[in-house]
Amino acid sequence: MVLPVYNEAENLPILWGEIDAVLTTLGRTAEIIIVDDGSTDGSADVARKLAAGDSRVRLCRLAQNSGLTAAFWVGFSRVRADIVVTMDADLQNDPADLPVLLDALQDCDAVIGWRWQRHDSLVKRLSSRVGNGVRNCLTGDRVNDSASSFRVMRRACLSAIPPYAGMHRFVPTLLRIAGFRVREVRVRHRPRRFGQSKFGIGNRAWRGLHDLLVVRWMMHRRLHYVIESEER
């Protein structure tokens, strides 16, 4: 499990308690990689205490805030398991939905948690709906919640996610471009209890459109070929 964290000191202990309870129910071996993305509120200290109390928890701290894609990429580079789980650390994702995502993974390569009932501000809900609509229009995809961080993937899927800022918003499309089988499953979405959202229209709209055009370019420039035969 890869958990990117930026100023979530109050949320982390609660989230870890929920994750621990779910893992106990699942009975699976697990490793939790917390990537602290240059937090300034003591999140790294909280994560360090969690790691000291449980050998399943590892902490990787970035020297400065580098963005969500960078945090995911750093976590992915340290993954050792065959199944990779990602989720937000703000308590809006519910770890209790993890068994549902894992069950859905049996007949595909990646499962995206669709936050079908969002508990965000009206502006954020509308911007997300517009963003998903524009993404689908330009990519020809049919994704309900492209930017959802609550995902379960087979490790091979990581090869389809390039190390460029903003690519975390397009994971379902990137995986399909690479030929992986992707499903969306409805998951719960909870109101934020502590801290503030790190995303808004001001820091997402134009940057997101630019990134979307890059993904569209990738789709049209991807290599397509069929090997007829191969001889020694």
Buried/exposed 144-169: b ≥16 CB within 10 Å, e otherwise? ebbbbbbbbbbeebbebbeeeebbbb
> Any idea how long the chain is?
232
Q: Give Cα 89 to chain centroid, integer Å.
A: 11
44-68 average pLDDT score: 96
pTM of the model: 0.80
Report how far residue 213's alpha carbon sits from residue 219's, in angstroms, rounded to the nearest whole number. 10
50-60 average pLDDT score: 97
Residue 75, number of CB atoms within 10 A of its CB: 22
Reported as a pLDDT band with limits 50, 70 and 90, residue 95 is: very high
Q: Which residues in 89-207 belong to E strands, given as ranges? A: 110-115, 151-154, 182-187
pLDDT in tens, 170-196: 899 889 989 999 999 999 988 877 766
CATH 3.40.605.10 fits 2-221, yes or no: no
Q: Which residues in the chain belong to E strands, given as ranges? A: 2-5, 32-36, 57-61, 83-86, 110-115, 151-154, 182-187
Reported as a pLDDT band with limits 50, 70 and 90, residue 143 is: confident
Decide: helix, strand or coil at residue 114.
strand
Q: In the predicted model, is pLDDT for residue 126 greater than 70?
A: no
Buried/exposed 115-133: b ≥16 CB within 10 Å, e otherwise? beeeebeeebeebbeebbe
Lowest mean pLDDT of 96-100, 114-118, 177-181, name the range: 114-118
Sign of CA dihedral 20, 196, 67, 53: negative
Report how far residue 113's alpha carbon sits from residue 109's, in angstroms, rounded to the nearest whole number. 14
102-128 average pLDDT score: 80
| pLDDT at residue 133, rounded to an integer | 61
| pLDDT at residue 152, rounded to an integer | 97
What are the residue ranges spanned by the domains of the chain? Answer: 2-221
Is 165 within 8 Å of 151 (Cβ atoms)? no
| pLDDT at residue 123, rounded to an integer | 58
Q: In the predicted model, is pLDDT for residue 137 greater than 80?
A: no
Report how far residue 125's alpha carbon sits from residue 46's, in angstroms, rounded to the nearest whole number. 31
